[in-house]
Amino acid sequence: MKKQLIVALGLAVLATPAFASKARLQALGEDTNGSFYINDNRNIFLNAAHVNNHKDFVTFETGNTTADATDDSAVAPRPEGGVFFGQGNLVYGVQLGNESNTSNTLRNWAGSATEQNNVDLFVAGDAGVKWGANLTYGKVTETATVDSSDVMRTRLGVVAGDIEGFANISLKNEVKDKDGSEFEGKLGYQIGGSYAMNAYKFFAEYRNIEGEDKTANADGSVKLLRVGAGRTDKLNDKASLFTKLEVSQTTINAEAATGALTTGGEDQKTTNLPLTVGLEYDAASWLTLRSSVSQSLYSDVSLKATSNQNLANTTVVNAGASLKFGEMSVDGVIGNGDAALASGTNGSLRTDNLMSRVSFNYNW
């Protein structure tokens, strides 16, 4: 009986699906909404043209369904999922529940509810140059805590050989809560591109999002400039090494409001030079392990009212795993050791809470 069980498990995992998820990107030290140099289906939220590279799949991200939950994170992930089809030279699909953490940061600063019930529609094609477009729409007329919430965004992207470019634009971002708090976003955008040369991927992006706390008559903005390079090395038929070095500058300007994101109307600039090293290893036909370490080689936080300071405790280690069953994969972050999950788990691998930020992916 034991031998039969082993044979059945082996047959179930002979095929190797293309694992891709928030959990995988986080475990490799990347943004959960896409990587400039690691191939993953989450890259469609960075550059919509990448839908051409990820078709005929369905994905599910488990998470907290509470309407006014905080920003998406490993401790409190937000649920989402979608399905994508390829037909000829076209790819189309729909994703439910994807939210902007930058938008939610400003909404939280204004004491307002986060984005809710977003629907993403994608279409992409390949006519010698890969192109992709997306429309995000989320509207809530009334809930127990919200009077109304409106979100509208678009993503446009192209991939032409080694050159990629994209523009993601926020067209509408408004929310009114029943407690009287009100946030109104202004035109926001994220533009960027990359260039592949030899084993390296050079990239740059600029983000700008602004909004107003209508209740407190206060303005807030978040700006980000990133420039860097990433490299992927296939060490052998089982292991891949990922290395990235980038420099970023984040500028926050937030007048007094009900939230904690406040700089007194002055620019707070944070300059950071992090180095990230990640490894992905096919431990077995049914198991892939991955981990990464990141640390800032240089940092500076400046605000007019205070002296320049360095960021403290910048070393971060993440780990994750994929369980593969035929064309289905189950991804998760393992042993993140966050005290919010259980007391005394920092740095430990706990079998009673083995995975957080769990996702399911199926390719056909």
Q: For the chain, state the CA radius of gyration.
A: 21
- For the segment 6-33, the average pLDDT, to the nearest whole number, is 66
Q: What is the pLDDT of residue 257?
A: 55
Q: Does residue 342 carry a pLDDT above 50?
A: no
CATH topology of domain 2-363: Porin (2.40.160)
pLDDT-based confidence at residue 348 (cuts at 50, 70, 90): low
pLDDT-based confidence at residue 5 (cuts at 50, 70, 90): very low
pLDDT-based confidence at residue 181 (cuts at 50, 70, 90): confident
- For the segment 87-109, the average pLDDT, to the nearest whole number, is 91
Q: What is the pLDDT of residue 161?
A: 94
Is-contact 308 300, C-beta < 8 A? yes
pLDDT-based confidence at residue 266 (cuts at 50, 70, 90): confident
Q: Residue 35, SS3?
A: coil
C-alpha to C-alpha distance for 231 and 238, rounded to whole angstroms: 17
Is-contact 22 42, C-beta < 8 A? yes
C-alpha to C-alpha distance for 37 and 283, rounded to whole angstroms: 23
Q: For 219-259, what is each residue's pLDDT tens digit? A: 889 999 999 999 999 999 999 999 999 999 999 888 865 55
Q: What is the pLDDT of residue 168?
A: 97
pLDDT: which is higher, 3 or 80: 80
- For the segment 109-126, the average pLDDT, to the nearest whole number, is 92
C-alpha to C-alpha distance for 49 and 157, rounded to whole angstroms: 5
Q: What is the pLDDT of residue 45?
A: 96
C-alpha to C-alpha distance for 223 and 209, rounded to whole angstroms: 7
C-alpha to C-alpha distance for 103 and 341, rounded to whole angstroms: 26
pLDDT > 90 in the chain, percent? 57
Q: What is the largest CA-CA distance in the chain?
A: 71
**Lowest mean pLDDT across 60-74, 119-133, 262-276, 306-320:** 60-74
Q: What is the pLDDT of residue 51?
A: 95
pLDDT-based confidence at residue 12 (cuts at 50, 70, 90): very low
C-alpha to C-alpha distance for 119 and 64, rounded to whole angstroms: 17
DSSP 256: S
Q: What is the pLDDT of residue 349?
A: 58
Q: Residue 296, SS3?
A: strand
Is-contact 30 41, C-beta < 8 A? no
Long-range contacts of 148-154 (CB under 8 A, 24+ apart): 148/174, 148/175, 148/176, 149/113, 149/115, 149/116, 149/174, 149/175, 149/176, 150/174, 150/175, 151/103, 151/115, 151/118, 153/100
Q: Tokens 């992927």 sit at which residue?
A: 232
Neighbours of 335 (CB within 10 A): 22
C-alpha to C-alpha distance for 276 and 38, rounded to whole angstroms: 13
Average pLDDT, the chain: 85
Q: What is the pLDDT of residue 304?
A: 66
Intra-chain end-to-end CA distance of the chain, in Å: 31
**Lowest mean pLDDT across 70-79, 87-96, 346-355:** 346-355
User: Two tokens at 91?
Assistant: 């790819």
C-alpha to C-alpha distance for 37 and 52, rounded to whole angstroms: 16
Q: What is the pLDDT of residue 132?
A: 98
C-alpha to C-alpha distance for 119 and 237, rounded to whole angstroms: 39
Q: What is the pLDDT of residue 139?
A: 92
**Lowest mean pLDDT across 194-198, 299-303, 339-343:** 339-343
C-alpha to C-alpha distance for 122 and 86, rounded to whole angstroms: 11
Q: What is the pLDDT of residue 61?
A: 93
pLDDT-based confidence at residue 41 (cuts at 50, 70, 90): very high
Is-contact 285 14, C-beta < 8 A? yes
| Strands 163-177, 146-160: pairing kind | antiparallel
